């Protein structure tokens, strides 16, 4: 009986503690998306079609993270082959995070995706790469490099 009360107490304590701290992984991706969006707005590269889709490295719908991306939509390319949006083309950012040692590299690739003749067509419009490194002195992740390129 005491063991079950102790277990419930420890679970609730850990659950409460974990909810008070921000998820550093999503915070880094939010930062990268915010910088990429700001660069897109600053370069006046915002098209008439403001719908934007976030995809992961497997072309699955990426969970919406950044607060300033109001018009972000979700789409799963594996399930959307007959979707009318794909016939006209959609704008998508593919987000690829890679953790290596004490660094995480977040790559955002800008695509225009269409589906015709039973095949996906990707037109690459450039992208950005953001490198975060863990600082032991400050005990937090720091943005150490970012570069944006286009075609």
The SS3 of residue 56 is coil
78: tokens are: 């594996």
Q: Burial letters for 96-108: b for 16+ Cβ neighbours within 10 Å, e otherwise?
A: ebeeeeeebbbbb
Give per-10-residue mean pLDDT for the chain (151 aa).
48 49 78 82 58 84 68 74 77 91 92 85 89 91 88 62
Task: Give the pLDDT score at 85.
Answer: 79
Q: Could you tell me the pTM of the whole model?
A: 0.74
Task: Give the pLDDT score at 34.
Answer: 82
Report long-range pairs for 72-80 (Cβ below 8 Å, ≥24 apart).
77/113, 77/120, 80/115
């Amino acid at each position: 009986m005491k063991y079950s009360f102790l277990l419930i107490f420890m679970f609730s304590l850990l659950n409460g503690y974990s909810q008070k701290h921000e998820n550093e992984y999503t915070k880094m991706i939010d930062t990268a998306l915010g910088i990429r969006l700001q660069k897109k707005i600053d370069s006046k590269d915002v098209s008439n079609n403001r719908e934007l889709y976030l995809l992961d490295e497997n072309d699955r719908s990426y969970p919406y993270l950044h607060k300033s991306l109001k018009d972000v939509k979700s789409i799963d390319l594996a399930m959307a082959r007959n979707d009318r949006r794909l016939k006209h083309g959609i704008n998508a950012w593919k987000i690829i995070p890679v953790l290596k040692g004490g660094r995480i590299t977040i790559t955002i690739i800008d695509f225009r995706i269409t589906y015709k003749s039973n095949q996906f067509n990707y037109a690459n419009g450039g992208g950005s790469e953001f490198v975060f490194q863990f600082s032991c002195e400050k005990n937090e992740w720091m943005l150490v490099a970012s570069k944006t390129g286009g075609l």
